[in-house]
Structure 1
C-alpha cells in the first residue's frame, strides 16, 4: 500500500517527529537557500549595482551547475573524502559543500560587483558548484537512510517543504533585509544560516560505505557492450561534454574579466557561432553514439559472450558515467526510434519562452519598473508562490481530467501569452489596468491597500506563475512518463538537465537584447520562441497517436490469427 503524504502543518509535524525527518527538513532548507540566493536574488544585487543586463545574463550561466551535476555524481558517490570520511559517507560531502558555500557567500559579501565583477563571479561559481554537489549528496542520503518509519516518500515531501521555506527566506526575506541593510550583510547572514545547518548535519545518521559493490549488473551480463567499446563510446561523449563546458566557461571568464572601458565580447555572436555546436556536443553526439551502440548490440558485435564480473573502483566510476551519459539516450532511442528526435526537441524547447528571461525578473521589477524591494518581495516571493501552487494544482487536475498530452499542450501555450502580459507591463500596463478594472481586481485589491500600480504587478505575476505552474506540473508528469522504469533516476536526471540547456544559453543573448532593444520587444521575441515548444508537442501527440494505432492493429491481428487457423 502506498504511503500517504501528509500536507501543510501535518507535514511540518511529521518533519519534527524523528531525527531523520527533522534533519531532512534542514537539508531541504540547505538545498533551497543557495539556489534562491544565487539564481534569483543575486541578480537583484547586480541590478542595484548597475551591472549591465548582458553581464547578468552571462553570470546566470552558473545555473548550469545544477543541470550538469550528474556529470560528477560518480565522484560524490564513490570517493571517500580524506579526514572527513570518518564523520559519515554522505555527511562528509554535505558538510564539505556547506563549508564551501559559507566561504563563497563570505567572498561575495567581501567583493564589490560594481568594481570587481570577475572576482565576484568566481565566488558565485564556487558557491553554485558546492550547492549542486550538496544536492547530489543529499539526494543519496535521503534514499540511503529511508526506512519503514521514515519512508523515502515522506522524506521527499519533507525535503520539498524545507526547500520552499528556503525559497521564501532566500527570496522575499533577503529582499526585505536588503532594503534595510547592505547586500553584503544580507549574504553574510545567509551564510550564517548555512553554518547552523552544518552543525545540524553533523548530528545526522549515515549509512556505511559498501565494501564491494558492483554498480550496474546489466553491464556485466552476456550481450552487454564489452568494456573497451564502452570506454570508447564514453570517451567520445565525455570529450564532447568537456568541450561544451570549457567553451561556456572560457567565454564567461572573458566576458567577466573585461577591463573597464574595453568592449565586452558579444554574447549574441557567441550564441550564434557556438550555441549550435554546444547543442550538438551535449545532445546529438551522445544520441548518435547511443544509436551506434544499439546497432552493435543488435548485431552482437563488440559484446560480452560471457559474464564479466571483474571490477575496480575505476571501472565502477566509468560504469557510473556510462550509465549517466550514454545508456539513458541509448535506451530511449532503442525504444522510440526516430521519435526520440521529437521527444528531445520537446524537452529542449518546452520551458524556453519563460526560462530565457527568468533571471532578469528582479532587475526588471526593481530597476526598470522601480518597485521597492518590499513590494517585489511580497509580489514575487509570497503572493507569487501561492499562485505557483495554484498553477501546480491546476496542472494536476487538468492532467487527471484531460490526459497527458492535452495538458502538456496547454502548458506550452499559456506561458506564451504570459510574455505578452509582461510586454504590456513593461509599456506601463494599459491592458493590465483595463482587465483589472473590468473584472473588479482593482477594487478588490484596493480594499487591502494596494494601488493601481501594485495591482498591475500582482496581476502579471498571477498569470505568469499560474501558467508556468501548470506547465511545470504537466512537463514533470510527461517526463516521468517517458522515462524507462529500468533507468528512471539516471534517465530523468539527464533529460531534465537538457530542459534548461537552451534556456540557460539564451539568457546571455537575452541580457544583451534587453540592453539594446528594451524589455517589451524582447518579451515578444521570447513569446515567439514558445511556438517551437507548441510545434514539438503537436508532433509528439501525433507520434503517440500513431503508436497507439499500430498497437491496436497488432492486437487485432493477433486476435484474428487463431480465428483464421
Structure 2
C-alpha cells in the first residue's frame, strides 16, 4: 500500500485539532486562500447561471415548459462527474507548461466564458433553442470538470499551515457569493440591462476564476511509483477487476448519452429527475459500489502481492492506476470502516437535499400548509436574505472548524440540519411556536423596522435558521470529504463522494412528493428531520471509529518505542 496514506495519517487528518484565530489570521495572508476564494466563485457562477438564471430567461420569453425540460438533463453532468474524473490527471497539450491543475482550470474557465458569450448572442425562441441547449450542455460539462479540478487542487494544496478545513470553508464562501451574484444579482441586472448584457457580464466575471487559476500555486506532481504501489493482487486479478469496472463504466456512460440524445430529440423531453429515479441506483451500483467491492476484494486477496512501483507500466496498468487504484487505496485504508463512511456520505446532506424541489411550492402555494407568499417576497427571503444567511453559516463553520475541530463540527452540523426542518414544519402548521417566540423576543419589531410584515418575517426567520445550519453543515461536510480523500487520488475519490451525496437526495424526492400530495407539507418536514437523525448516528459511529483507530495507533507507537 502507498506510504502516502497510512492509517496514522488518516487518523491525524480526521481528529480534532483546535488552533484558534492564529490559523485564520495566517491563512488570510496566504496566496492560496485568495486563489481558493476566487476558484470557489468560479465554481458557483456557472451553477447559478446555467441551472437557475437561464431557466428564468426561458420562462420570461414564454418558452414552453416542454422545451425548458430539454435543458433539465444538463444537471446530470454534476451528478455523474466521477465517470470522467480520472481524465483530469492527464496533461493537456499546448497548455501543459502551466501545470497539470492550472492548465485544466484555465481551459474549463475559458470554455465557460465562451459558453456565456454564445448564450448571450442567442435568443431562446425559434431555431436558436437548439444552439442554446448545446451551449448549456457544453457549459455544464465544463463546469463539472472544473469542479473536479478545484476539489483536487484544494486537497493537494492544503497543509498544516493552511488546513483543508479552512480552505474548504473559503471555497464555500466563494461559491455562495457567486450564487448570490449569479442568482439575485443576475435577475436585477437582467431587469435593467437585459439578458444579453447579463450573460456577457457572467463571461467577464469568469475572469475572476482565471485570476484564481493563475495565482494558485501548482501542487507537486505525484510520482508514478507512489500510485503504482496500489497495484495489489496478481496481474491477472487486476486485469479482471479492471475489465469488469470498465464494462460497468461503459454501460453507465451509454445510459447517460442515450438519455441525453433522447432529451434533445423527443418532445416533450423526458425528465432528468425521473431518469435518476429509475436508473440512478443502477448506475451508482455499477459504477461505484461494484468497483469498490472489487477494490476491497483485491485488498483482501492481494496483500502479499503488492507492486514495488519499479516495474514497467503497460496501458492496462495506467487504466488501473487511474480508475481502480483510488478505490483500492480507500478500501485498504478504511477497511470495514468504509461501511460507516459510506453511510455518513449518503445520509449527511439528505435532510436538506431531499425537499429542495418542494421549496417553491411550499413558499408560493396555499394547499397542504403552503404559505401563499408572492414571488417578490420569496425572492427577497430565499434568494437574497437566505443566501446571506448561508454565507454566515459557512463563516461560522469555518471558524468552528479551526477552533473545536472537524468531528465536533460535523456532528453539530448534522444535529442542526435535522432540527431546523422543524422550523419549516412549524410554519406549515400555522407557526404555533415561531409566532409566540418572535413576539416574545421582539423579532417582529426588528423585521418591521425594515418594512417586513409578520407572515414574511416568520418565513425569513425560519429560512435564517435553516440556511445558517445548512451553511455550517456544508462547510464541515466538504472539509470532512476533503480530508478523507488521499491527495494522491483526490480527483476520483472526492468526485465519487460528492456524486453519492448528491444522488441520494434526488432518489427520495418522488415518495416525498406523494406524501405532500396526500398529507401536506408538515409531514414531509417531519420526515426530513427524522432522516437527519440517521446522519447524526453515523457521525457518532465515525467519531468512535476514529477514536478507536487513534488509540490503537498510540498503543502501537508506545510499543515500538519500548
TM-score (norm 2): 0.73
| One of 456, 467, 481 as aligned partner of 1:454 | 456
Quick one: which of 285, 290, 299 aligns to 1:294? 299
Aligned residue in 2 for 1:284:
289
Contact 1:352 1:530 in 2 (8 A): yes
2: CA distance, partners of 1:230 / 1:411? 40
| More moved, 340-349 vs 95-104 | 95-104
2:414 corresponds in structure 1 to: 412
Correspondences of 1:472-511 after superposition (within 5 Å):
472-480=474-482, 482-483=484-485, 491-506=493-508
Contact 1:57 1:510 in 2 (8 A): no
Helix, strand or coil for the counterpart of 2:420? helix
| Aligned counterpart, 1:353 | 351
**Alignment-derived partner of residue 226 in structure 2:** 218
Q: CA separation in 2, counterparts of 1:157 and 1:90? A: 20
Q: Distance in 2 between matches of 1:487 and 1:170?
A: 32
* 8 A contact 2:164–2:483 mirrored in 1: no
Spell out the pairing of 1:364-379 with structure 2 (5 A cutoff): 375-376=377-378, 378-379=380-381
Q: Which residue of 1 aligns with 2:242?
A: 234
In structure 2, the partner of 1:80 is 92
Matched, 1:465 2:457: no
**In the aligned structure 1, how far is the partner of 2:131 from the partner of 2:522?**
32
1:250 CA displacement: 3.7
Higher relative contact order (CA 8 A, sep 6+): 2
Aligned to 2:185: 173
SS in 2 for 1:500: helix
Query: 1:275-313 CA deviation, whole Å, 9 max, x = no partner?
Result: 43233223320221111111231243xx54x6544247x
Contact 2:349 2:505 in 1 (8 A): yes
Partner of 1:318: 319
Give deviations 1:495-527, integer Å, cap 9, x for gaps. Answer: 344222312444677678878987556444544
Pairwise CA distance, 1:172: 2.5
Contact kept, 8 Å, 2:39 with 2:174, in 1: the verdict is yes
Instruction: State the superposition RMSD in angstroms.
Output: 5.3
Q: In structure 1, what is the Cα distance between the partners aligned to 2:133 and 2:460?
A: 32
Cα distance in 1 for residues equivalent to 2:127 and 2:103: 36
2 CA distance for matches of 1:160 and 1:275?
Answer: 27
Q: Secondary structure at the match of 1:449?
A: coil
* SS of corresponding position for 2:302: helix
**Residue 146 of structure 2 is aligned with which of 134, 144, 151?**
134
Shift of 1:445: 1.3
Distance in 2, Cα, partners of 1:145 & 1:540: 25
> Which residue does the alignment assign to 2:112?
101
Q: CA deviation at 1:347?
A: 0.7
CA drift at 1:476? 3.6
Structure-2 change in CA distance of 1:170 and 1:495 (3 Å)? same
Q: 1:437 corresponds to which residue? A: 439
Shift of 1:242: 3.6
Equivalent runs, 1:104-115 vs 2, <5 Å:
104-106=115-117, 108-109=119-120, 110-112=122-124
Following superposition, the deviation at residue 105 of structure 1 comes to 3.1
Segment drifting more, 50-59 vs 525-534:
50-59
In structure 2, the partner of 1:338 is 336
User: Judging changes above 3 Å, is the alpha-carbon distance between structure 1 residues 391 and 241 closer, same or farther for their aligned structure 2 residues?
Assistant: same
Deviation at 1:455, TM superposition (A): 1.0
Cα deviation, residue 464, structure 1: 0.7
| CA–CA separation in structure 1 for the residues paired with 2:535 and 2:252 | 24
Residue ranges of structure 1 left out of the alignment (5+ in a row): none
Cα 1:383/1:445, change in 2 over 3 Å: same
Q: TM-score, normalised by structure 1?
A: 0.73
Alpha carbons 1:44, 1:363 under 8 Å: kept: no
Residue 244 (structure 2) pairs with residue 244 (structure 1) = no
Figure out how many residues of one structure are paired with residues of the other and give that number: 537
Contact 2:155 2:485 in 1 (8 A): no
